[in-house]
Amino acid sequence: MISPPMKTHLLPARTISPVSNGCAAAAIPSSPSMAARPRRIPSGLQSVTGRGKFSLAAVTLDDYLPMRSTEVKNRTSTDDITSLRLITAAKTPYLPDGRFDLEAYDSLINMQIEGGAEGVIVGGTTGEGHLMSWDEHIMLIGHTVNCFGTRIKVIGNTGSNSTREAVHATEQGFAVGMHAALHINPYYGKTSIEGMISHFEAVLPMGPTIIYNVPSRTAQDIPPEVIMAISGYPNMAGVKECVGHERVKHYTDKGIAIWSGNDDECHDSRWKYGATGVISVASNLVPGLMHSLMYKGENATLNEKLLPLMKWLFCQPNPIALNTALAQLGVSRPVFRLPYVPLPLEKRIEFVRIVEAIGRDNFVGQKEARILDDDEFVLISRY
């Protein structure tokens, strides 16, 4: 995804204080190790002399990004985010021409709220943010805030493998009112440990932030040393962790908020390893049952009942199965933005059986689950 043009400058490292919640007042670093760490300024120049007789303009700390505001009435504290148990990684539905189906989207978000979800990730992997332009992406975040921001926390996926894009998108996301940002480590063109720390430091001053570790997608783990290096920032809400229970416990023992990123592990992560909750794909389909799994104590019976659905959802790369399921339930149109295509017939038949086993009343929507014929699906390559 390409963000609008933005001027950037190469700077030497400088030491500054982090900013709490993106507002004007600077915060005091909460740990000596953080205070000693050099901070990177993403744009602007120190006063230097050019090759000619004219000096380059001096730029003060007040000129560098992020853009700050003294308006705080709609700001969310980091504590407001760390208290969330069930966050849904929301699906983005489409019209037959490939544009967003906002009517279906609004209905899905309402069903999440009614089912007990306390937060939604907008434009994440499940929501296909990587298939959106940045204009679409920020619009959907703003739309979600505008329609539902008083009833559910809106967490915008404004991460990127380009720090410049991550900074710019995060500024825009907070400007349109999102309550928190989700940030992944730079993928594909991976960086060093120090590079990861610097990448996250560039976005943390803007507002509450969840770091997302999913090595199966990025091909690079975010090791504990990175999380510990940034854990003292006031806006560091916690980590969506997909590595497993041992890593979850490592962080929770140190007081860091963790959301399981794996539906099939979230019950044990929550009740046996101290996770705060889950950022869930399955809750798109069964928000009420996922709420129970996170709030009503250990329930091995319910967990076992949901495991076939959770495993089915990841039989192919997410969000292929979820998109297929929501179409089968009549909650979204059977429209796919390529390169995603629906699951094959035998998997669609399996989903109908899973719905029958768990109970149709536990799923979103009102229509009966259908198998759907192959020719009912629409695949879009231009939109």
Q: Quote the Cα angle for 274-276-277, to 5°.
A: 115
- Angle 232-234-239 from CA coordinates, rounded to 5°: 70
What letters, b where the CB count within 10 A reaches 16 and e where it falls short, cover 51-82?
Answer: eeeeeeeebeeeebbbebeeeeeebbbbebbb
Catalytic pick among 64, 94, 105, 212: 212
Among 278, 199, 210, smallest CA distance to 238 is for 210
Query: Which token pair is 293?
Result: 């799994």
Peptide bond into 215 cis (omega under 30): no
**Encoded tokens for 149:** 């921001």
Q: Does 240 qualify as catalytic in the annotation?
A: yes
Report the C-alpha gap between 350 and 268 in whole angstroms. Answer: 26
Identify the CA nearest to 284 among candidates 20, 89, 122.
89
Q: Residue 307 gets which letter from DSSP?
A: H
- Identify the active-site residue in 105, 240, 251, 273: 240
Over 12-76, what HEC string results? CCECCCCEHHHECCECCCCCHHHHHCCECCCCCCCCCECCCCCECCCCCHHHCCCCCECCCCCCC
Taking the CA atoms of 125, 122, 240 and 189 in sequence, report the sign of the dihedral they define.
positive
The DSSP line for 288-300 is HHHHHHHHS---H
How many CA atoms, within 13 angstroms, populate the side-chain half-sphere of residue 342?
A: 27
Q: Answer yes or no: 153 catalytic.
A: no
Which are the catalytic amino acids? Answer: 212, 240
